[in-house]
A and B are shown apart, each in its own frame.
Chain A
């Protein structure tokens, strides 16, 4: 199959169309504007519908409506825009509807800046809106992976009847890399017999709603959601490990910034320091399994993020006190260099040696 050179934002769109996306509702914001631009041009040609909403809030509620009618639907935005969508996302989770949400994130808080950032980890993995819910969150590190995950995203959303989020950053959205679009593997998916498609007078109406005033009914929904999340933890966790087999220091990093960390691992290895990397591909469910496979040689973990430390909480939970957990991060759109990471990693190893008296 042909390799094409594409921006991350555009590759996500081409993959979404291959994944069966029928509707796109969105509102412009940098650094994801190539997504609505591409969809406005291409989705109609593919038989779907693009609509620029009057706001992010309107867009996510259009997603709610189209998902309720059984369509394959997506929206995209960047950090402050995703913040605006949280009410709708919570409703969609409450109504158990499938959809795909892309966050090409930027620095915050507030309107922040437009440069790459990973400060939306909590928002993505802790349920940015109200209630006891999660999203399936993918964090691709390169454009090929972004396209591969996007092609699958609509199937997974339909399978679990829940939103799937693709969390990238401005770097992933703006950069170009070669990408090959693979065929979507057919899956057995449940019929959408819950969708509001019109009764034709032959069945009882389906109702899409997130209001459940009866506490017992609402608790039942929550129990059902938790069962679904347990299935996701069993079946959908994805991660990559890189040179962890004999490592003394293992970095944990995700998305495009994990590539800088991978370079740092190579530099440290060349200097004789045994470094490795765990790269979560699903941020939720977090790949706790990866930490069960770590070698006895391990002396410390270090979470490396384009934020002041959010994923580090999950790293500590997964570490269960077995190893010290260090941190290195930059924020606001500043991007760490591999040299900064090498130095931070070496410093942590020295501190660990000092404490343990080695």
Chain B
């Protein structure tokens, strides 16, 4: 009974996200959103030439997109070359969630980035994690594009 429900819900969710993502890519002509993940570069800074400092997430998600994984692989390569540098991963959420849940979500996002860096050979000793929840948005707008820029994990040099 429950399983049937779960499958049904899962199916609906997948269907809904397919429809939503189809709509979103069509509607946003700026090409800055894929699904609701930010793909632009307005707020992005660089740790080194060609090494973006941040990755973006879908609403309520902490799954790394293909683009995020590429960014993190570049970060890992740069960190391997600069073995004296330690980093802080700052996890953030958008303003469309309750404060306490968003603190946990930011922590989960930063750890998704940390886990990925670790699989590319970066020692956990060099990485610390902090969540700011929704407390430190980069874009103060109240619209889907602003929110997408705020759902992020930012890699910051710690030393």
A and B are interacting partners: no
